Amino acid sequence: MSATGSASVGYHVIPHDDSHWQSQWHSKDGFQYDPIIRNHYTSSRTTLPRMTNEPRLPLVVPLTPAGRGAIAALLVAGPRAVELVEAVFVANSGRRLAEAPSDRIVVGRFVQEGVPGEPLVARRIADDRVELDGHGGAAAVARLERALVRRGAKSSSWADWIALDEPDPLRADAAVALAKAPTARSAGILLDQYNGALRRAWDALRAALEGGQIATAQSRLALLRGRAVLGRHLVEPWRVVLAGAANVGKSSLMNALMGYRRAIVHPTPGTTRDVVRATAAIDGWPVELSDTAGLRPGGDPVERAGVHLAQDRIEAADLVVWVLDAARPGLSRACVVGREANRSLIAWNKTDLAPMPADGPPGLATVAVTGEGVESLLAAISRRLVPEPPPPGEAVPFTAEQATSLDRAATHLAANRADKALRELTRAASLRSR
Ligand SMILES: Nc1nc2c(ncn2[C@@H]2O[C@H](COP(=O)(O)OP(=O)(O)O)[C@@H](O)[C@H]2O)c(=O)[nH]1
Ligand SMILES: [Mg+2]
């Protein structure tokens, strides 16, 4: 990824109440950089930044995901972090952790009631920050966490920890989203945002407003808003629904798109009753595909319920792939009438039996049972979902809150209230993710 962290931004953290902290962003002008924070943005040696103001309680933060794993990592951060760890850890060398050079890996054991037990590795990052690496697995992590909590630490989730420790809320949100990214492509875009792409664009937009360059602000705002739809679907998959009449080959197409037999295929019309969902990556974009019951009147109560579910899915879809039967074009056409074109794609299936009808709505030819045309359909789905993928390193707003804030700023700007737009953007960028 081409984006890199920016050293030209500043902030400070102020205590909000006993346990919560609030950060405030300051524009470049008039801000006194905190040297510790500058270090965070410029140092490549320190992997974890130091806190500017310390919470009263030291925190214990499991960093590795819950579940089985060979190694689990925990962070102990805050005042007395080293002292706290020394109460549950003894180094094999017999030396004190407090005296170990910072960043040195110290091999030792987890001590409970004075008895050294399982192996534990400690690394004193700073006086207020120690990383512990021990056996993985929920029970082992919980035991260590409990031992630290008994001695006065407070448990914190990694996401809360990032929100507390990372002063840039846009970057904190990117860190949280990055951990949820289902595909490498969406992770790449989120990594750009983590590395400052959105922060730079946000600040440039604010600078344009501050400088009274309204036209520039408007075009920057439009660009960001245009990318917000993609941004929301970097973590949440796009909802793509296969819909159409009974027996046209929707389930067969679902299986062909997925590459394995997910849905039941049968010549009997009305075989698919429930909505069958599967998640996939199409061209690197996370997608939830839904196969639905064939839309037809009548049928037994279960099939009718399936048709209702199908209609709900169609309404909520980001894209509907209408599957039409080339061998029975008349029957299929009713389904597409009146549908919004920008939310629809048409797949003429069973083109092995009959050619795509010249007088029907234009679409892509597929043969679900052989896979013919499926690659082209996948490419068309990708193009329809993301017509203009952002170039690497570009800003992409990726949370609903960011999108809302950009929309509000646009409304203010349209009403010639640049001051309000600026306030909105400033406020949104100083919110904490929770
Ligand atoms: N010849 C041919 N048959 C197909 C094709 N796609 C599906 N079928 C058959 O059509 C019947 C209905 O398929 P299915 O996927 O269950 O349709 P659905 O009711 O729309 O889900 C099955 O017998 C499939 O094998 C195709 O492209 N060509
Ligand atoms: Mg079916």
Q: What is the fold, at CATH topology level, of the domain defined by 238-385?
A: Rossmann fold (3.40.50)
Query: Which residue's alpha carbon is nearest to atom 3 within ligand 1?
Result: 350
Q: In the Cβ-directed half-sphere of 1, how many Cα atoms lie within 13 Å?
A: 21
Could you count the other beta carbons within 10 Å of the beta carbon of residue 218? 18
Confidence of residue 23 (pLDDT cuts 50, 70, 90): very low
Atom of ligand 1 nearest to the CA of 247: 19
Q: Considering only CA atoms, which of 122, 117, 125, 148 is closest in space to residue 133?
A: 122
- What is the DSSP code string of 244-305? ESTTSSHHHHHHHHHTS--S---SSTT---SPEEEEEEETTEEEEEEE-----S---HHHHH
What is the best residue among 251, 252, 255 to mutate for testing ligand 1's pocket, by most ligand atoms within 8 Å of CB?
Answer: 252
Assign 121 a pLDDT band (cuts: 50, 70, 90).
very high
- pLDDT at residue 332, rounded to an integer: 55
Return mean pLDDT, the chain: 83
- Report CA(350)–ligand 1 centroid distance (Å): 7
Residue range 237-252: mean pLDDT, rounded: 92
How far does Cα 75 stand from its chain's mean position? 23
Q: What is the pLDDT of residue 292?
A: 87
Measured by CA distance, the residue closest to atom 19 of ligand 1 is 247
> pTM for the full model?
0.78
- DSSP sequence for 341-373: GGGEEEEEE-TTTSPPPTTS---EE-BTTTTBT
Q: Which amino acid is at 317?
A: A
CATH 3.40.50.1220 fits 59-162, yes or no: no
Asked if residue 86 lies in contact with residue 49, where contact means CB atoms within 8 angstroms, the answer is: no
Spatial CA neighbour of 63 closest among 128, 136, 152, 170: 136
pLDDT at 266 over 70: yes
Per domain, the residue ranges of the chain are 59-162, 179-234+398-429, 238-385
Residue 349 has pLDDT above 80, yes or no: yes
Q: Could you tell me what percentage of the chain is helix, strand and coil, using 3-state DSSP and rounding each to the nearest 5?
A: 40, 20, 40
- Cβ-based neighbours of 353, under 8 Å, separated by 6 or more: 326, 327
Mean pLDDT, residues 154-172: 89
59-162 and 238-385 in the same fold: no
